Amino acid sequence: MLDIPLRVRVHVETLPAAQNDMGVCDAFEQYAPVGKPVAMNAPHPPKVAGIDSTVPAPAHTVAPVSVVSGTSPVTPPNPPCALLQDRLAGWVSDLTTLHELTERLVRTDALTDALTELLRAGSALVGARRGLVVLEPGDGLGPDTTIGLGLAHADLGHIETVPRSAMSYGRILDGLPGCDREIAQPDLFSEDGLDPRHREVAARLGYAASYALPLATDALGRVGAAVWLYDEPAEPSERQRHLVGLYARYAGEHLARLVEVERARTRMATMAEELLPSRLPRVAGVQLAVRHRTGPRGGGDWYDALPLPDAALGLAVGSVTGSGPSAVAAMGRLRASLRAYAVMEGEDPVAVLSDLELLLRLTEPARSATALFGYCEPALRKITLAGAGHCPPLLLGEGRAEFVETSVSAPLGMLACWEAPSVEMQAGLGETVLLYTDGLLHRTGDAIDRAFARLHAAAAGVPRVLRHDPDAVADHVLRTMLPDGLDAADSADDVVLLAARFD
């Protein structure tokens, strides 16, 4: 993971960490190539297994042994080869540590996880117990967030009350002169001119020193800043500073990549949401609620609720094959077309889907879609349904939870001519109809038959006190089907759950 050239091939026995008196920082400076040594003047240390004898001798190697006439040579207490082995072992130890920490960082694919791992690794490298990282890209396009290590949300709130210019991370993020590198404050309470609010917060939270580093890349510029807090007056050693500096440079590049991914996800989700209804209509006799989850790549699941003539209501859910911007755009075109067909001939759902199938086949022959359209008459509590390869609705009442049988049909765009009969369903007073996309079933990870069984059990298990509220019904079903945050987790499948309760 680290592109650090080595002029020395190391093949030494592992030495105790306590013997390491020189780390990567000192070693690289000591043994950096300074030109080819003169043959007559170049030192020639004894050959040691795995060590190139042309390596220049360290500056603080023990002095040569002087031999007094008539006496035997005196063996120094620390031969040069042993000292060199100790220092090479320090190199190996430092490189191994950095390799392990960067490996752990690169395995994170979520921005929050990467920031947390950065704080943990930096805390171990500089010897601090607590810290925070402020993500604030310099181009102002976000995302902006603050993550703490060993700090509660209330503690972060206290820190944010300190004037930004009085905090080391604030000076780094604002690009103040001389603040483009590390900022060490080894003893906050002995500093002259420390902001009174900063002094108060530091005393309240119990930290007495801090060490801050910028997080930046050549391509994106400033990404953020990380600060580690010491409980007592302290500061990292030169070796610790060099190690955490190497780690921070790599972490900045990784965070920049995750920032771009997060921005793409946000743009995709925003575009998908803008192509869907901004709010559900209010129609007498029926209450509506919807839950929509978009995958990280953007999918083609959609829904609609459209007031129609004669106090009717059109309900629709569907899914377009594929993912990404093209699928989202196709979803928007398909939904807009269905709205037009529903206004013209919504009382005949089969005709609506037939027109939609013809449009899809002519304009996007390489794409298929599933759809379910229902012509709802709230006063009669009746829905006329037509489906094209879509999942059947589920009817939830006081004494029943059952799937509505719809005719078996192919998805739109799969056959030369789509045709399927419609079905009518009658809902009772206070009953709720659930329309959903297959993403709700796929996100469970179960086989399709078991996923249907889980959906039936989740609907049947809605407490009676919640069944009067379609929002509560939708939330209960979603949490039961996708527990432990699976409804919000990254997944290739979108989820749509539309609930309509008849009053």
Give per-residue pLDDT as tens, 446-462: 899 999 999 999 999 99
* Most confidently modeled range among 49-58, 74-83, 125-134, 315-324: 125-134
Q: What is the pLDDT of residue 51?
A: 33
**Averaged over 284-303, what is the pLDDT?**
86
* Listed range (1-15, 346-360, 463-477, 479-493) with the worst mean pLDDT: 1-15
Q: What is the pLDDT of residue 77?
A: 57
**Percent of the chain surpassing pLDDT 70:** 83
Reply yes or no on whether the pLDDT at 8 is more than 90.
Answer: no
Residue 400: Cβ-neighbour burial (10 angstroms; 0-12, 13-18, 19+): exposed
Phi and psi at residue 270, to the nearest 5° = -65, -45
Q: Report d(CA 81, CA 90) in Å as an integer.
A: 14
What does DSSP assign to residue 77? S
* Six token digits for residue 381: 């509590």
Q: What is the pLDDT of residue 398?
A: 83
Query: Model confidence over 88-117: pLDDT tens digits?
Result: 887 888 889 999 999 999 999 889 999 999
SS3 420: coil
Reply yes or no on whether the pLDDT at 468 is more than 70.
Answer: yes
Query: Model confidence over 45-81: pLDDT tens digits?
Result: 433 333 333 333 333 334 444 444 454 555 555 567 8
CA-angle at 258, arms to 252 and 261, nearest 5°: 150
Reply yes or no on whether the pLDDT at 356 is more than 50.
Answer: yes
Residue that has been written with the tokens 């809605």 in this structure: 462
Do 350 and 386 contact (CB within 8 A), yes or no? yes
Q: How much is the pTM?
A: 0.65
Exposure b/e, 327-352, CB count within 10 A at least 16 = b: bbbbbbebbebbbebbeeebebbbbb
Alpha carbon 351 to its chain's center: 44
Q: What is the pLDDT of residue 31?
A: 34
Nearest to 280 by CA among 501, 24, 53, 29: 501
Beta-carbon contacts of residue 500 (< 8 Å; ≥ 6 apart): 286, 287, 288, 305, 315, 376, 432, 433, 435, 470
Residue that has been written with the tokens 């094959």 in this structure: 321
Beta-carbon contacts of residue 82 (< 8 Å; ≥ 6 apart): none
Which domains are present in the chain? 1-56+75-107 (no CATH), 109-266 (3.30.450.40), 275-502 (3.60.40.10)
Nearest to 349 by CA among 325, 376, 322: 376
Q: What is the mean pLDDT of the chain?
A: 82
**Percent of the chain surpassing pLDDT 90:** 54
Query: Model confidence over 187-207: pLDDT tens digits?
Result: 999 998 899 999 999 999 999
Beta bridge partners of 495: 293
pLDDT band for position 489 (cuts 50, 70, 90): low
Residue 229: Cβ within 10 Å count: 27
Reply yes or no on whether the pLDDT at 437 is more than 90.
Answer: yes
Reply yes or no on whether the pLDDT at 259 is more than 50.
Answer: yes
Q: In terms of pLDDT, which residue wins out, 40 or 166?
A: 166
Reply yes or no on whether the pLDDT at 269 is more than 90.
Answer: no
pLDDT band for position 366 (cuts 50, 70, 90): confident
Residue 152: Cβ-neighbour burial (10 angstroms; 0-12, 13-18, 19+): exposed
Reply yes or no on whether the pLDDT at 249 is more than 80.
Answer: yes
What does DSSP assign to residue 465? G
